Amino acid sequence: MTPVSPWMKLSVHFDADQITNQLDYNFTSCDGTADPRHGPYMGGVHFQQGQHVYLDVNCCGSKESGFTSFQIVDCCLITVPQLTQIGANVPTRYSPPSPFLQALGATYNLPLDFESQVLLEDPTDPALPVLRRIRQEWKHTLDVGHAKGRWELSFVLTVRIFRSEQDLPELRVFSFDPEASVGGTIGWD
């Protein structure tokens, strides 16, 4: 019997009314190694070889601002390979263009195939603002290959935010960019 490959989930969050362009993001995995708070991968994300990565995009917005929904216009992963070997009398080597099997190069435009759910209409605490929260789950996975390495990982998301009928939709771009690694005890050995 073949063991089941570990999974990881990337959840990104933004507020329709935020003034920054930064996505709040969280990696979770079956073994707890995804989003380290200490140790050699601190501040980055460490993938496991053969891992399947799921994605969901979450947006909330106040009903007072007229927020009704959002549409993902484009969604792209960018991986910039880092050095894996350098020194006297050895050839300089970099990680492959991407840790993901679906990406032929350093950029991968995710197919726009999401399933949408409204999660929260009104909070139970009357002191909190009335929010609408929507999650869109990607219907596919990214598959981590078997090459060890390190990358700068960026995620860029363009969304169309819909408000009340009298308001024109608003296009916004959000992103984040941690470091990522696959395999080894320090990410590349």
- Average pLDDT value for residue range 6-33: 89
Over the stretch 10-21, which tens digit does the pLDDT of each residue have?
999 999 999 999
User: Model's pTM, two decimal places?
Assistant: 0.85
Over the stretch 116-143, which tens digit does the pLDDT of each residue have?
998 866 556 666 667 889 999 999 999 9
Residues in a beta bridge with 28: 9
Residues in a beta bridge with 135: 58, 117
Q: Where are the beta strands (DSSP E) in the chain?
A: 7-15, 24-29, 45-47, 52-62, 69-81, 83-85, 93-94, 107-109, 114-120, 131-138, 142-143, 149-162, 170-176, 179-182
- CA 102 – CA 87 distance, rounded (Å): 32
Burial of 182: CB neighbours in 10 Å, binned 0-12, 13-18, 19+: buried
Instruction: Please tell me the predicted confidence (pLDDT) of residue 183.
Output: 79
Distance of CA 150 to the CA centre of its chain: 17
Instruction: Please tell me the predicted confidence (pLDDT) of residue 35.
Output: 63
Q: What confidence category does residue 28 fall into, taking pLDDT thresholds of 50, 70 and 90?
A: confident
Q: What confidence category does residue 185 fall into, taking pLDDT thresholds of 50, 70 and 90?
A: very low
Residue entry with tokens 């700068």: 152
- CA 37 – CA 44 distance, rounded (Å): 9
- Say whether pLDDT at 83 is over 70: yes
Q: Are 150 and 45 in contact (CB under 8 A)?
A: no
Instruction: Please tell me the predicted confidence (pLDDT) of residue 124.
Output: 67
Percent of the chain with pLDDT over 70: 85
- Average pLDDT value for residue range 87-93: 93
By 3-state DSSP, what share of the chain in percent is helix, strand and coil, each rounded to 5? 0, 50, 50
- Say whether pLDDT at 161 is over 60: yes
Instruction: Please tell me the predicted confidence (pLDDT) of residue 91.
Output: 93
Percent of the chain with pLDDT over 90: 63
Q: Is residue 63 helix, strand or coil?
A: helix
Instruction: Please tell me the predicted confidence (pLDDT) of residue 184.
Output: 62
Sign of the alpha-carbon torsion through 22, 7, 106, 139:
negative
- Please give the mean pLDDT across all residues of the chain: 87
